[in-house]
Structure 1
């Protein structure tokens, strides 16, 4: 049987995904240059994915039924289905809460408590706190996104910058949280403890977060200073958001959190006669419909990714990267590149770690790379890439709250935390920076455990 790092794969299998990405990006760029409003939404992303899928069916070997089964298996992946249900519930919560006046009340409360010049920094810190507590970047964006957009409008802030801060804070926790799927995948594939991986990661994530906070404080001030005024709000209408935040931080299941938020918002809306019973149900369905694009795109890209993987596209990436590894530093750079490209191909950071994990472990053993460092790099680069690809769930979700006024591509340059985290991670590969914990507790490659514990 061929070893994983000896599988040459098939580079041609990557073409369908490349076609999808190029159609999505190039069409948006061309329309943007022509000055067409909402350029990146004129060519629907699910259609671009569909074109890639057609090419995947042409290029993938096997009968039509076999190809279809591979595609459906990818669409029906547990992670994809869970994400899609979260999308629907998030849309319903946003729609019902807005209809009963919750968004306006929460925005006014935020403007009363937080000076406009601190809102951008505040959103990053709050998102970081929620995501590290809950381990979910998408859930964090769902909870804060609608409020952030409204705060931007009232405080005269730069919307792409604020959304970039939100995504950055969300990815901070996704990368660092001990209950995040990415942490679980990284530690399990490398055979290290969550505690050790957290400590190895913390030396990179904290400095990156601090630098981001400083930059947001300097550049996150309002574009226009809003007039001084009193903002009125009904604290009762803020309760659904308080519930969602507290429930999420406490570790409650995201489905229970969002369902509870919908029920509480509906009860308040009915109590204050913001809508009637039938209208409540219609608002829920309206929220569902608002997530149609992202729902379809997630399903289709899941199926496309599985076809690319089945055709040998990911094996080709693994083989090519492994051939370039010559020493410890190049091994760490190879592992980082591997998981980054895999995430770009699958648009799922957890899946990219699982796919890359076994080869990364083999590379680590061969070149004496501390497995705690390997786990850290897998998590850092997968989460950074996930926060920067415009077709990833995080950017798509953030863009969906703007009603088409800001595209995911426009947000990418402002996700400063992810860029800074990558810089610090590369520094940790080529210099001793960020490796203090590993240096104090070196790995015993004979006994496959830390020399000592602290």
Structure 2
């Protein structure tokens, strides 16, 4: 039997460097799909695995194990795709856009976007569902008010991720807690110490930005033009929002995500048939193919021609390849080897916190999926927290901040591709405005090095740490 060994740092640097070179060249230079780059990258890591003494069957098993960890996300994404298509056809999203243009004042629009997306995400537990419904509506309203779209996208994503990592209904919240061996509610409570101040700071920043941009760039004629166009193409009534209220209510009552979102999509089909005058078969088709309309207004068409399961297939393939890639990296112990090189420095809560954030970010970069990050980071870092007697709630919190909040920043990750596709702007254009993510990361590091809200399992250790700080 061939001896199996861990990879050396030189082998890791070469393999991951080659991965990044392929990803960047495919997307930036050759305009080739990221999915193809990820597929090729599988075989680069497989070759490394064979060199380290692993059998091919073991490596293929690592791929399938990695993919199986994220199958729930794939099912939810399929349902979200169907939901977006049918909610546009049923007038749900157009009604949200219309009322937003009607009632939200431009100067508080960015703050309103943050709050609306936060509430939606908290109630539903899904950032993807929030961005695909409320997010689309807020982008349209922002465009109508003349507010820069990257700034609007930053407010949408700040709200969506705030709710996603605080909601007990969120799969990422549950995953971070369970992988860290922490009760979900205890994890949420621990998150509040960081999230509430981060949210207040973010809200202040978006309020200031709103007063800077809202009002002076607002073209009232364009706002009225958009509202008229919506009224001409859709039946806009308050009861169009019933499917949205139903889904939020069901998810708030802790009903399973996938069937609840699918039921919301079915309501969208019924609404499209009954209220929008669509043929039933055409309305049903929007669940798979997405909604399509030719209003003669380019912006309106770009905004409304989207959704459907078919529109999600690219993101689904990225998730599958990303999870498989992450499974291979975990099997070969790549991130563990990287962390072991800095083991001697992990002697304080501050250094452990910073390392956790870096590992979670790298898992997003090289694992291409938020689930890879939330699965690998607690596994890799748990021993370091236990050695310092730091409570696992801190591990779960840092894993969420480093994993969930940075997932949308990577252009080739599942979140990066989904968010850019739905919001209609590139990842790099909205990243500078993901203010909640940056504020949360800064606070997590400050807490780590000051000992603020860092809990210990041993009271004597806690007293020594407080004395040292």
- TM (norm. structure 1) is 0.82
Match of 2:194 in 1: 204
User: What's the CA shift for 1:13?
Assistant: 5.0
User: What's the CA shift for 1:257?
Assistant: 2.5
SS in 1 for 2:415: helix
- Rate the CA distance shift 1:357–1:158 in 2: closer, same or farther, 3 A: same
- Rate the CA distance shift 1:24–1:161 in 2: closer, same or farther, 3 A: farther
Aligned counterpart in structure 1 of residue 341 of structure 2, from 320, 333, 338: 320
Match of 1:74 in 2: 66
Match of 1:108 in 2: 98
Aligned counterpart in structure 1 of residue 80 of structure 2, from 90, 94, 97: 90
SS in 2 for 1:60: helix
Aligned counterpart in structure 2 of residue 307 of structure 1, from 328, 337, 346: 328
Match of 1:444 in 2: 458
Counterpart Cα distance in 2 of 1:190 and 1:53 = 28
Match of 1:36 in 2: none
Instruction: Check whether the contact 1:74–1:305 (CA below 8 A) recurs between aligned residues.
Output: yes
Instruction: Check whether the contact 1:86–1:255 (CA below 8 A) recurs between aligned residues.
Output: yes
- Rate the CA distance shift 1:9–1:182 in 2: closer, same or farther, 3 A: farther
Match of 1:398 in 2: 419
Q: Which moved more, 1:273-282 or 1:205-214?
A: 273-282
User: What's the CA shift for 1:160?
Assistant: 1.8
User: What's the CA shift for 1:359?
Assistant: 4.4
User: What's the CA shift for 1:447?
Assistant: 12
Counterpart Cα distance in 2 of 1:100 and 1:179 = 26
Instruction: Check whether the contact 2:101–2:141 (CA below 8 A) recurs between aligned residues.
Output: yes
Q: Which has the higher contact order (CA 8 A, sep 6+)?
A: 1
- Rate the CA distance shift 1:330–1:64 in 2: closer, same or farther, 3 A: closer
- Rate the CA distance shift 1:349–1:273 in 2: closer, same or farther, 3 A: closer
Deviations 1:60-109 (A, max 9, x none): 2145555444334433x142x22222222222222222234332222001
Match of 2:269 in 1: 266
Aligned counterpart in structure 2 of residue 43 of structure 1, from 29, 32, 36: 32
Instruction: Check whether the contact 2:117–2:135 (CA below 8 A) recurs between aligned residues.
Output: no
Runs (5+) with no aligned partner, structure 1:
1-6, 32-41, 449-454
Instruction: Check whether the contact 2:409–2:427 (CA below 8 A) recurs between aligned residues.
Output: no
SS in 1 for 2:351: helix
- Rate the CA distance shift 1:15–1:417 in 2: closer, same or farther, 3 A: farther
Deviations 1:321-342 (A, max 9, x none): 4243233432333333333333
Deviations 1:423-447 (A, max 9, x none): 1111111225455xx5xxx643589
Match of 1:240 in 2: 243
Root mean square deviation of aligned Cα: 3.0
Counterpart Cα distance in 2 of 1:78 and 1:407 = 28
Instruction: Check whether the contact 2:243–2:268 (CA below 8 A) recurs between aligned residues.
Output: yes
Instruction: Check whether the contact 2:131–2:419 (CA below 8 A) recurs between aligned residues.
Output: yes
- Rate the CA distance shift 1:288–1:15 in 2: closer, same or farther, 3 A: farther
- Rate the CA distance shift 1:411–1:271 in 2: closer, same or farther, 3 A: same
Aligned counterpart in structure 1 of residue 317 of structure 2, from 296, 303, 310: 296
Q: Which moved more, 1:411-420 or 1:44-53?
A: 44-53
- TM (norm. structure 2) is 0.80
**1:125 maps onto 2:115 in alignment:** yes
User: What's the CA shift for 1:420?
Assistant: 0.9
Aligned counterpart in structure 2 of residue 215 of structure 1, from 191, 199, 205: 205
User: What's the CA shift for 1:216?
Assistant: 1.0
Deviations 1:155-214 (A, max 9, x none): 222222222222222222233333444444444455554454434322211111111111
Match of 1:341 in 2: 362
Counterpart Cα distance in 1 of 2:262 and 2:183 = 33
Runs (5+) with no aligned partner, structure 2:
290-307, 463-469
- Rate the CA distance shift 1:150–1:72 in 2: closer, same or farther, 3 A: same
